[in-house]
Amino acid sequence: MLSIRNLHASVEDKAILKGLDLEVKAGEVHAIMGPNGSGKSTLGNVLAGRESYEVTEGEVLLDGKDLLDLAPEDRAREGVFLAFQYPVEIPGVSNINFLKTALNEIREYKGLPPMEARDFLNRVKEKQKLVEFDAKLANRSLNEGFSGGEKKRNEIFQLAMLDPKLAILDETDSGLDIDALRIVARGVNQLRSKDNAFIVITHYQRLLEYIVPDFVHVLYNGRIVRSGTKELALELEEKGYDWIKETVDAEGAV
């Protein structure tokens, strides 16, 4: 589904991703871990199309289509969804109006008519239930006054509403209490299917007990330096990153 080859990206002339390769197939869940500042969020942002990140080399294909050529909105319409590490508050834009606009623009892109108001509201209700997100959305502005946890949950709610092909969750678990974490994970598990895929960025093995990944990757210094199965996450939890840093830095020195 997603294939990233030799991806290099920089911000303000500072190289951050330095030759990243990743293959994600439909139905898979990939976890990405790695020390602070290693480039995890950068990867998410580059995939979603944030303009301040410049891709200097490499390619990204989504089902064979060159993603890097597309505007952020077209990537979303092609099925890329980034759950933000820091969701933005937008006073004056209502949650509902925002979701309706997004959903209908995606539908239009796919040649579908706008969703009927009643169907839309039913879908909102159904998906809110799925992620047990009972914040009153109707008269509230997008993320405005939401607690950190509510914002994260709102991201997953949006994910459920928009039903993307490829979802990238950037530290969705941070800031969630234990119950919320379980609920979010349950939601994600219900959304998993053989047709979609997830990239889960996290610092904590705990999330991966709930959302069990097919692969775990370690991102360090702009590249994926280790890949393995869920046991790798356990090993990291136990030993920290130093042993990886050391070996990688040693390899680099050779």
Partner 1 sequence: MITQVSDSLYTQLVKTYEGNLPTSEPHSLDEIRRQAFDRFKSQGFPTVKREDWKYTNVQPLVGRGYAFEAEPAALDEATIEAAAIPGLDAYRVVLVDGIYRADLSTAKDVPGLSVMPITEAFERLCFAKYFSEYADKTDNPFVALNTALFTQGLFIEVGKNQQLDKPIHIIHVAVTDRPLFTQVRNLYVMSTFAEAEIIESFVTQTGADHNLNNVVSELVVRENAKLQHYYLQLGSAQSHYLTHTEIYQEKHSLYNHYNCTFPGATFVRNNINVRLGDSEVESHLYGVTLTAENQFVDNHTIVDHLKPHCESYEWYKNITQDTSTAVFNGKIFVRQDAQKTNAFQQNNNMLIGEKSAVYTKPQLEIFADDVKCSHGCTIGQFDNEALFYLRARGISEAQARVLLVHAFAFDVTSRFANTTVRAYVEHLVEKGLKVG
CA–CA separation, 26 vs 2, rounded Å? 8
CA dist 36 → 66, 128, 172, 195 (Å): 29, 32, 15, 31
Rg value, the chain, Cα: 18
Please, which residue, 107 or 230, has the CB nearer to partner 1?
107
Please, which residue, 60 or 82, has the CB nearer to partner 1?
82
Q: Which residues contact 190 (CB under 8 A, 6 or more apart)?
A: 130
- Which of Mg ion, partner 1, ligand ATP, none is residue 236 near (CB under 5 to 8 Å by kind)? none
Whose tokens are 């914002």? That residue is 151
CB of 85 to ligand ATP, least distance (A): 6
Residues in contact with Mg ion, shown as a per-residue x/- string from 69 to 108 under the rule CB under 5 A: ----------------x-----------------------
Largest CA distance in the chain: 64
CA–CA separation, 123 vs 138, rounded Å? 14
The answer to whether residue 158 forms part of the interface with partner 1 (CB under 8 A) is yes
Please, which residue, 141 or 227, has the CB nearer to ligand ATP?
227
Q: 218: which strand partners? A: 33, 226
Rounded to 5°, the CA angle 132-135-141 comes to 135
Please, which residue, 7 or 168, has the CB nearer to partner 1?
168
- Which of Mg ion, ligand ATP, partner 1, none is residue 16 near (CB under 5 to 8 Å by kind)? ligand ATP
The answer to whether residue 48 forms part of the interface with partner 1 (CB under 8 A) is yes
Dihedral pair phi/psi, residue 163, rounded to 5°: 50, 65
CB of 183 to partner 1, least distance (A): 22
Q: Which of 88, 250, 253, 254 binds partner 1 (CB under 8 A)?
A: 88
Residues making contact with partner 1 (CB under 8 A): 48-51, 71-73, 75-77, 81-82, 84, 87-88, 90-93, 97-98, 101-103, 105-106, 109, 141, 158, 162
